Amino acid sequence: MKADLFSSLKLRDVEFRNRIGVSPMCQYSSVDGFANDWHLVHLGSRAVGGAGLVMTEATAVSPEGRISPDDLGLWKDEQIDMLARIFAFVASQGAIPGVQLAHAGFKASTSAPWKGHHPLSETERGWSPIYAASPAPFNEGYQTPHALDPAGIREVIEQFTAAASRCVIAGARVIEIHAAHGYLLHEFLSPLTNKREDEYGGSFENRIRFLCKIVEAVRRHWPEHLPLFVRISSTDWVEGGWTLEDSIALAKMLKTLGVDLIDCSSGGAIPNASIPVSAGYQVGFAKAIREQASINTAAVGLITSATQADAIIRAGEADMVFLARELLRDPYFPLHAARLLKHEIELPPQYRRAF
């Protein structure tokens, strides 16, 4: 039987009630990495709204790995309790709680978008040093990062695994490793940003080594019955950069390491790349990776209607659709989509009169 947007999906021992995922969306609303009532309401309302997967924003594995001083984090045990409260509520509403673990790399120490989204000095709550694959800044005005040395690479791997262990305690059911959008792991993958001459640079096999080691380490600390996702930039959109063919080869490797789904985004390695943005412009990446790497994929990017999302699943272009801005505009998108597509969906009893 062909799947549709409201078909359930089982990955390992986790069953998603539908194929709609809340894509990680930075909220820039934390103090010292702690979740708070904003996150409870933001994530909880999307669970009430009927999403199958509710994922946190990029959650930093270390203080220096934050994008901004206001980022969510999971680098210390004290940050677990509030996330546990949020995840318990999300699960009580029938959604699966997930965490995206991230390190900002050379995009660290910047301000929130509504505060100018500019690099911060230490007097502006910024920090130094920041770290990257190679010692070149992301853009003019950004800090020049320190290239991670072997000891630093080992430390970041340990930070990801420690954060994964905290996810278990907090009650997360999915981990996604963020290896897209020009953040640290993408910086190692892309030949545009990785100019290393050691075992982590040069060839494709060397450039994927860091991510593969993190996946292996996280998979050892993450329960076998729970799924592991990886978000990638499927292409850099720049000649000489990371390509869809690279993504397919990487996905094949990640599948052997225990990854269950590839979240297919794109871009972010360099500023001002020419990206042909249009409705569903990244769906083709999810389709190609799904077909050629034989792995589950999620499509993301300008998916804004129920019929569009449903068509992606029905056509076999992806196994899930991840929505971001559309779910900011309408936290109850899944409930509205179910009514439009004439699917039965369990409504929160408190809201049944309205639907």
Instruction: Give catalytic residues, as residue numbers.
Output: 183
Instruction: Say if residues 248 and 35 touch (Cβ distance below 8 Å).
Output: no
C-alpha span between 271 and 188 (Å, rounded)? 17
Tell me which H or E stretch contains 123.
Answer: none
Decide: helix, strand or coil at residue 13.
coil
C-alpha span between 111 and 106 (Å, rounded)? 14
C-alpha span between 162 and 222 (Å, rounded)? 10
Residue 159's contacts (CB-CB under 8 Å, 6 or more residues apart) are 61, 62, 65, 75, 103
C-alpha span between 128 and 146 (Å, rounded)? 9
C-alpha span between 182 and 69 (Å, rounded)? 18
Angle 84-85-89 (CA atoms, 0-180°, nearest 5)? Answer: 110
Decide: helix, strand or coil at residue 25.
coil
C-alpha span between 206 and 192 (Å, rounded)? 14
**Exposure string (b/e) for 218-250, b if CB count within 10 Å is 16 or more?**
bbebbeeebbbbbbbbbbbbbeebbbbebbbbb
